Structures are given as C-alpha cells and as structure tokens.
C-alpha cells in the first residue's frame, strides 16, 4: 500500500493529528501550514510503501518533524520587522568627513569645479558620472576622436578638480 491507496478519512485524521500536535503541544501558531505541507510531502512520495494503515499516521508525524523546522526557517527569512523611526540612517562617509560635512564638501566641490575648470572639463566630469565612455564620445564628437583621448582628458580633469578642492589619496608607503 502506498500513499495513493490511503483512504480519505485517514488523510483527514492525519491532518487533524498533526495540527493538534503542533498547535497544542508545541504551541505553534501556524500548525495548519505544517499539517498541509506535511501531507503534501507525503503525497509526493509515491514510492513510499506502508505495511498497515496504522503506519500512515506514524510516517506523517515523522515527515511533520522534518517539515516544521523548514517552515520555521522560511518564515524567519520572510518576516519583516516594523521599522524603527527613532534610529538614524547610516550617514555617508568620504575620507574623514561624515554626515552633513559630506554634503557641504560636495556642494563646495561642485561650486569650485564649475568656476575653476574649463567648460569642457566641467561638462565631461559631470557627464562621466552617468554615462559610459561610448556615450560620452557621442556627446562630445567634435572634441574627441576616440575613447582613449576622452579617458585621458577625463583623468586630467578629475585630477585637476581633486587638486582644486584639496582631495588627497591615502598614501600607503611602506618604510623599510
């Protein structure tokens, strides 16, 4: 006898027994889901053979003990906690600057860049944050013949802007 040969009243008895075990004895809130998932797992196993009808309930409870932890883990992964509006969002950090200092530094960089870089350098620097090299070539067809020339000009413009605003890379010299 396999699970296809089990009479419907035995299926409903097994569902009730699993529900009772997990809801009353273990206090699970979602015992009905455990019962449903267990019976589905048993039903999928056509190759599982029972000697007697009484073995069906034991097998179902054995499956339930394996299915319940899986459902609990998946519920934990899917659960969403309420957001705590009291907690501050993490602030961006640039070098040693944090929080408001970062936005002030960015505004100052934008102001100085627009004032002290040439028009081409400033447009190239700004557009490079949202465009790829090929898109930049299409935007500046008269200024650059190929991507390499554009990349060199962009590198120089960025280095010039860094010097204007006083940005320095971390130096990692090893003294021997």
In this predicted model, what pLDDT tens digit does every residue of 24-79 receive, in sequence order? 766 777 778 888 888 888 888 777 777 887 888 888 888 888 887 887 777 677 66
Q: Do residues 143 and 154 touch, judged by C-beta distance below 8 A? A: no
Delimit the domains of the chain by residue range: 3-78, 93-165
Q: Is 15 exposed, middle or buried (0-12, 13-18, 19+ CB in 10 A)?
A: middle
Q: Do residues 163 and 116 touch, judged by C-beta distance below 8 A? A: no
Q: What is the pLDDT of residues 125-159, one digit of tens each?
A: 888 878 777 787 788 778 777 778 888 888 999 89
What would you measure as the largest C-alpha separation in the chain, in angstroms? Answer: 89
Distance between CA 33 and CA 19 in Å, rounded?
A: 9
Closest Cα to residue 122, out of 148, 157, 159, 146?
Answer: 157
Helical (H) or strand (E) element with 94: strand 93-94
Q: What is the pLDDT of residues 91-120, one digit of tens each?
A: 666 677 777 787 888 888 889 988 999 988
Looking at the DSSP bridge assignments, the partners of residue 93 are: 98
Distance between CA 131 and CA 152 in Å, rounded?
A: 16
Contacts of 141 (CB under 8 A, 6+ apart): none
pLDDT value of position 36:
85
pLDDT value of position 176:
55
């Amino acid at each position: 006898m396999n699970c296809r040969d089990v009479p419907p009243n035995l299926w409903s008895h097994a569902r009730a027994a699993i529900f009772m075990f997990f809801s009353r004895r273990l206090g699970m809130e979602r015992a009905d889901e455990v019962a449903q998932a267990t019976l589905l797992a048993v039903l999928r196993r056509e190759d599982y053979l029972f000697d007697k009808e009484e073995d069906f309930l034991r097998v179902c409870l054995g499956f339930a003990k394996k299915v319940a932890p899986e459902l609990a883990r998946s519920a934990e992964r899917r659960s969403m906690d309420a957001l705590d509006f009291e907690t501050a969002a993490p602030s961006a950090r640039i070098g040693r600057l944090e929080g408001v200092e970062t936005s002030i530094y960015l505004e100052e960089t934008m102001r100085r860049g627009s004032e002290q870089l040439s028009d081409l350098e400033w447009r190239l620097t700004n557009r490079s944050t949202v465009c790829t090299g090929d898109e930049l070539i299409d935007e500046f067809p008269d200024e650059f013949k190929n991507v390499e020339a554009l990349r060199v000009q962009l590198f120089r413009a960025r280095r010039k802007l860094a010097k204007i605003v006083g940005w320095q890379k971390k130096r990692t010299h090893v003294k021997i």
